[in-house]
Structure 1
Amino acid sequence: MNMIRKTASAMMVSLALATGAAAQDKDLGEVVLIELNTTKPTEAGCTLSFLVLNGHPSQIDKVVYETVLFNSAGQVDRLTLFDFGTLPPGRPRVRQFSVPGATCDGLSQILINGAHTCEAPDLADTACEAGLTLDTRTKIEVIG
């Protein structure tokens, strides 16, 4: 039964990825995928839009990542927390974060420094970090 559930979960993840993430045609496995999908300049700063997908067989109730933003000179601009909220298994979610006082062109890199909070009672304690898969569709590099 567990094998059937894992296979079904992997199939759902592959199908969900076909709608947007750069990981098309690859089995995500039991990891979390975070893709910086778009950036949008605003009067107040820069809005970052992420596509996120939980490849685990169970829901992540709450995940908050410690995130470091680097400017175009490669220097740390700020350290912040991005709350990705609840992530159901195999269903893509889009999360947006406004970065006040930052210009989108002024950001060169985003470092996902680790999970500040990971509430996933049915998963391993490392579910939000182990095998974290990062990608970008922008000029801003995403590393972790």
Structure 2
Amino acid sequence: MRSVCALGLVMMAGLVSLGPAIGAEGRLTLDLNGLEPIEAGCRATFVGHNGLAEDIARTGFEMVLFSPEGLVTRMVVLDFGALDAGRTKVMQFTLAGTECAGIGRVLINDVERCEGPADAGACLGGLVAESRSGIAFGL
């Protein structure tokens, strides 16, 4: 019985660590979950959760990368693809030629694509940015 309780606590702790990415109903949540140096540059991992009532057929966000000193170093559009209603999805992007240590902040500058919801403004209006990477991430 004790091992069943311990397993339950471990599972609950796992859900708590996913936090707002799972429970943000009525919102579109993007979490900058990590930056990892790779040979080609920097791999950015995002966790997205579509808490809106409708599927989103295609999404794309214009991101601005800032240096640790606050200077704009790069603007890029990241295609997040389809985000089904009520689902959580992990996406990874290679930022070729970019050193992870050179990223001090990431800004969601605009919603480049939002296909699917009847209200196209829902992608921006319901957007919440979070970061577990130690790098500032927001709107």
Q: TM-score, normalised by structure 1?
A: 0.81
In proportion to residue count, which structure has more helix?
2
Counting matched residue pairs gives 127
2:105 is the counterpart of 1:109: yes
In percent, how many aligned pairs have the same letter?
33
Q: 1:21 & 1:131 partners in 2: Cα distance?
A: 19
Counterpart of 1:84?
80
Q: Which AA in structure 2 matches 1:107?
A: I
Shift in Å, 1:55? 0.5
Q: Which AA in structure 1 matches 2:97?
A: G
Residue 31 to residue 88, structure 1, CA distance change in 2 (3 Å) = same
2:70 is the counterpart of 1:74: yes
Uncovered stretches (5+) of structure 1, i.e. residues with no partner = 1-16
Counterpart of 2:96?
100
Counterpart of 2:138?
143
Mark the structure with the bigger radius of gyration.
2
Q: 2:25 aligns with which of 25, 29, 53?
A: 29
Q: 1:57 & 1:64 partners in 2: Cα distance?
A: 19
What SS is found at the alignment partner of 2:104?
A: strand
Once superposed, what is the RMSD of the aligned Cα atoms? Answer: 2.1
Shift in Å, 1:142? 0.3
Q: 1:48 & 1:40 partners in 2: Cα distance?
A: 7
Counterpart of 1:18?
15
Q: Which AA in structure 2 matches 1:137?
A: R
Instruction: State the Cα deviation string for residues 77-114 of structure 1 (Å, max 9, x = none).
Output: 11110100000011110111111111111101000011
What SS is found at the alignment partner of 1:129?
A: helix
Counterpart of 1:9?
none
Q: TM-score, normalised by structure 2?
A: 0.83
Residue 82 to residue 19, structure 1, CA distance change in 2 (3 Å) = farther
Q: Which AA in structure 1 matches 2:18?
A: A
Q: 1:129 & 1:94 partners in 2: Cα distance?
A: 19
Q: 2:38 aligns with which of 37, 42, 47?
A: 42
Q: 1:85 & 1:62 partners in 2: Cα distance?
A: 5
